[in-house]
Amino acid sequence: MIHPKAKAKGTEPRAAHPGPKVHGGVRMASVSSSTVDWRTRCEEYLRAFTDSDSIRFWGIAHEVDGKAEPIFNYRFEHTLAAVKLGRWLGPQVKADLDVVECALWLHDCQKKLKDPLTKDTHAVDASAEVPEILRGTDFPQAKMAAVCHAIEHHVGLRLTKKLSPIETACVWDCDKLSKLGAASLIHFGCISGAFQPITTEDILVRGEAWLELCKVIVASMNTLPGKVEAQRRLAFLRAHYRQLGREWRDPMEPSPIGSTKILDP
């Protein structure tokens, strides 16, 4: 393990674009006469930005093959979960898949791990970066405004009215669905220790508080498939924290899986 302020020679955070141009703190490939695949550009941009920010925030990194690797890159993992959801939800609601996937790749591309008291402008900041990130790629120019619209409207855990167009609605749903369910437990658990010392009891207390906010998210979902999946994931989270509470608080309560009987052979 290495500390970034005392890193050895040749242990720079991996950069996706080794070209000379630096944009938004991320090295960009110089644009040649041939176009670049837009998904590759989005993923590589996000990887480089979030790896660097993760190492900055943790203040420590692993050294892998001479390069500094983050202990856990929460932002990239969350984004990848949201992209996977977009590929699932988009076709069901007949959304433009280029717009949905591109907006999901880039929706948090300027979001840094930081003090929550700092003014958060990450949605408009990300939207402003979209044209430059996609420059020289094969992403259709005519769809870029829709990507920016979806990114600018993805924030918040509560909606008072449904979003439109469907691409913007779909991106909001996928971003929020990625904060529910099994993968979200991994993501929250792995990043928690970067913010403060953590115990099992802390995780349990925070998880139980999060369940209350999850109800708001479920009620705000824009799309029917999104809402059904959100309800399924919330049920799983409730069962998870019920079981964790049962294991951790002494004396153990009866199992919530009441019908399960262990038979003595």
What would the x/- binding string for Fe ion be over residues 15 to 54, using CB under 5 A? ----------------------------------------
Instruction: Kindly state whether residue 96 participates in binding Fe ion, applying the rule CB under 5 A.
Output: no
Q: Which stretch binds Fe ion (CB under 5 A): 107-115, 143-151, 157-165, 186-194?
A: 107-115
Buried b (16+ CB within 10 A) or exposed e, 28-60: bbeeeeeebebbebbbbbbbbbbbbbbbebbee
Q: How far apart are CA 19 and CA 27, in angstroms?
A: 6
CB of 45 or CB of 136, closer to Fe ion: 45
Listed ranges 97-105, 131-139, 174-182, 198-206: which one lies at the site for Fe ion (CB under 5 A): 174-182
Q: How far is the CB of 223 from Fe ion (least distance, A)?
A: 17
Min. distance of Cβ 9 from Fe ion in angstroms?
35
Q: How many CB atoms lie within 10 A of CB 121?
A: 12
Q: Where are any strands of DSSP class E within 138-246?
A: none
175 is an interface residue for Fe ion by CB under 5 A: yes
Q: Which residues, listed in sequence order, are joined to residue 137 by a DSSP beta bridge?
A: 36
> Which residue, 44 or 108, is less far from Fe ion as judged by CB?
108
- Minimum distance of Fe ion from residue 76's CB (angstroms): 11
Phi, psi of 67 (to 5 degrees): -120, 150
Q: Does 108 bind Fe ion (CB under 5 A)?
A: yes
Neighbours of 101 (CB within 10 A): 25
- Give yes or no for residue 101 binding Fe ion (CB under 5 A): no
Q: Does residue 62 sit in helix, strand or coil?
A: strand
Beta strand 62-64 with 21-23 is unpaired
CB of 99 to Fe ion, least distance (A): 16
Query: Which residue ranges make up the site for Fe ion (CB under 5 A)?
Result: 108, 175
